[in-house]
Amino acid sequence: MADSASNISEESLTLQPRFDADGLITCVATDAVSGAVLMVAHMNAEALARTVASGEAWYYSRSRRALWRKGESSGHTQRVLELRVDCDQDAVWIRVAQAGPGACHTGRRSCFYRAAPLGQTGTTVTLEFRDGDKAFDPKAVYGKK
Amino acid sequence: MADSASNISEESLTLQPRFDADGLITCVATDAVSGAVLMVAHMNAEALARTVASGEAWYYSRSRRALWRKGESSGHTQRVLELRVDCDQDAVWIRVAQAGPGACHTGRRSCFYRAAPLGQTGTTVTLEFRDGDKAFDPKAVYGKK
């Protein structure tokens, strides 16, 4: 957090991740080529350890309650070029080489394919697609579930 | 989440943020110039609404339990160039023009100033500084607290 009052982890050169009550830490994956944020997901201790050890992105799926190697179903793996931790060690940033056409299960390159134009003040905020074209057919890649 | 089973929010063109049990959503701020992740923080509904309306980054500080306009103490405000939401609307990505030398309360440009070199397999993971030089003196900027 940019406003943390905690000084425990700020200058430490030991990884001391601050997992939340569910044992998870937030991970931001950016595309090493474009710089775009591809996805925001979670890691548990095992996923983080496997990612650091292997240089391949592992996550923890909250919906499936399972360790998850990115691309294990789709083939769209993520090779990690750099893994950083933030000042109070409750977030991880990985710069990845994204294999295949995209990271998002909807078929887009990035999970962030909609923007909220700024200046909207009403109770309903309208989105618009940005980079919203599908890069792959999720049904063909993931199959019917 | 890149693996969400939810299809509720994926194609909607209405902002329907999925706040967590504490009423918060994760926000990733990247530097519009360098593409670097500057910080990961949280927004509540009010912070998100103010950010969309004003084009200035507002957050919710968990430690201070308060709405927080980025830069209100330091002058290091963030002008939002684009705000995107992810597939299941539980994360926000803002691309910002960062005012002043840096976003991190430790004095660095980014909160992510340490990396874990990959290939480490032991129980202790060692970090090293990356872009770890201080861009400003936090004591001079924030004062003693």
Whole-number pLDDT of residue A144: 55
Binding-face residues of A in 69-108 toward B, CB within 8 A: 70, 80, 82-87, 91, 93, 103-106, 108
**Token pair in block for residue A132:** 């919203």
What does the pLDDT average to over B36-60?
A: 98
Residue A117 DSSP class: -
* Degrees, nearest 5: CA angle A55-A56-A57: 120
Whole-number pLDDT of residue A142: 87
Mean per-residue pLDDT over chain B, rounded: 93
Whole-number pLDDT of residue A5: 45
What ipTM was estimated for this complex? 0.93
Whole-number pLDDT of residue B7: 60
B40–A1 C-beta distance less than 8 A:
yes
What does the pLDDT average to over A32-61?
A: 98
Strands (E) in B37-90, as ranges, are: 37-43, 58-61, 66-69, 78-85
End-to-end CA distance of chain B: 37
Whole-number pLDDT of residue A57: 98
CB contacts of B6 in chain A (<8 Å) are 63
Whole-number pLDDT of residue A8: 58
Starting at the earlier edge strand, list the strands of the sheet with A128-129. A128-129, A114-115, B78-85, B91-98, B25-31, B37-43
The residues pairing with B66 across neighbouring beta strands, listed in sequence order, are B61
The position carrying tokens 């593409």 is: B35
CB contacts of B99 in chain A (<8 Å) are none
- Are the C-beta atoms of A69 and A82 separated by less than 8 Å? no
CB contacts of B120 in chain A (<8 Å) are 52-53
Q: Which chain A residue has the Cα nearest residue B80?
A: A118
Mean per-residue pLDDT over chain A, rounded: 93
d(CA B105, CA B103): 7
